[in-house]
Amino acid sequence: MPASGATQSITVPAAFDLGGLLAYLAARAIPGVEAVTTEGSYCRTLRIDGREGWILVRTGGGRRRPTLRVELSPSLGAVRARVLARVRRLLDLEADPEAVAAHLARDPAMARLVARRPRLRLPGTMDRFELAVRAVLGQQVSVAGANTIAGRLVRLVGEPIRQVEGAVPVALTHLPVAPGRLAVARPAAVAGIGIPRARAACLVSLARAVADGELPELAGDRPAPDPEGFTRPFTALPGIGTWTAASVAMRALGWRDAFPAGDLGLRKAMGGVTEAALRGAAERWRPWRAYAAQQLWASLGDTPGGTGR
């Protein structure tokens, strides 16, 4: 555990399900960059505006006034407000789960699922580009497989932690993959981590687009209010389809009505329906279709969010 750094508190609802979110994050933690400890804390490295460091999030307070305690390395002190905003985005703290659950429960197909998980939230991300890369790596592979490949990519093009103030948590060894570093990698070298050459070329193209400012929504904390304005250039990249775009829209950009209608897991959870039938059913879940997707994936037995495949 880190030995120093500023600590900030975030008040959360008494019924906040941190355990469910931590289970989701633990299943998808990128080796070397993020980890969920046995004590129930989430820790990761972070880069914001050239400032590099680590954060650690754990519970605090009591039952009447529960809080999240966010410890930051001193190197991130100048961007503390942005770090806390990203934590809130990661844990979907701006959502109103009761309102979402009440809306979805009007549909008999959703009522039973919502009753089991009435406080389910939409996990976000601390790094939008990282999430987009992870979505590409997750195409047609298991969650565990995507974790392994993501760790290899970090070791290939990621930057090791060297000069970050404060003792770094033991499990963290690298900073997140930066668009500029991946953009100059050779696709053949990227394919060497165990992915098809076409997918490696997709990753390099994605990194170049972000590095060149063509996808500003993935480069920082800028709001992305226009789904079509982002999706059109994003899906124009080779290897980016509607499933990947919807996954990024849901978790990276926080679009609560994003919905990957072609997802096989969602169709299975609805009883093996066709994509057209799933699209029709999903109309009843607007404007919370992303939460409906989370409920359906969770019903398959995975941690909230499922495999998404």
Assigned token pair, 142: 């298991």
Note every long-range contact of 107-110, with CB atoms under 8 Å and residues 24 or more positions apart, other chains counting.
Answer: 107/281, 107/284, 107/285, 109/270, 109/281, 109/284, 110/285, 110/292, 110/295
Task: Report the Cα–Cα distance between both ends of the chain, in Å, rounded.
Answer: 35
Q: Catalytic site residues?
A: 263
Closest of 264, 282, 37 to residue 169, by C-alpha: 37
User: Does 303 score more than 90 pLDDT?
Assistant: no
Assigned token pair, 143: 């969650």
Give the class (CATH, top level) of 6-94.
Answer: alpha beta
Residue whose pair of structure tokens reads 């974790």 in the numeric block? 147
Per the CB < 8 A criterion, the answer to whether 138 and 308 are in contact is yes
Distance CA 36, CA 51 (A): 23
pLDDT digits (tens, 9 = 90+) for 29-39: 999 999 999 88
Distance CA 45, CA 171 (A): 10
Rounded to two decimals, the pTM is 0.91
Question: Residue ranges of the domains in the chain?
Answer: 6-94
More confident residue, 273 or 220: 273
pLDDT digits (tens, 9 = 90+) for 201-216: 999 999 999 999 999 9
Q: What is the pLDDT of residue 226?
A: 72
pLDDT digits (tens, 9 = 90+) for 37-88: 988 899 999 999 889 999 999 988 766 678 999 999 999 999 999 999 999 9
Buried b (16+ CB within 10 A) or exposed e, 222-259: eebeeeeebbeebeebebbeebbbbbbbbbbbbbbbbb
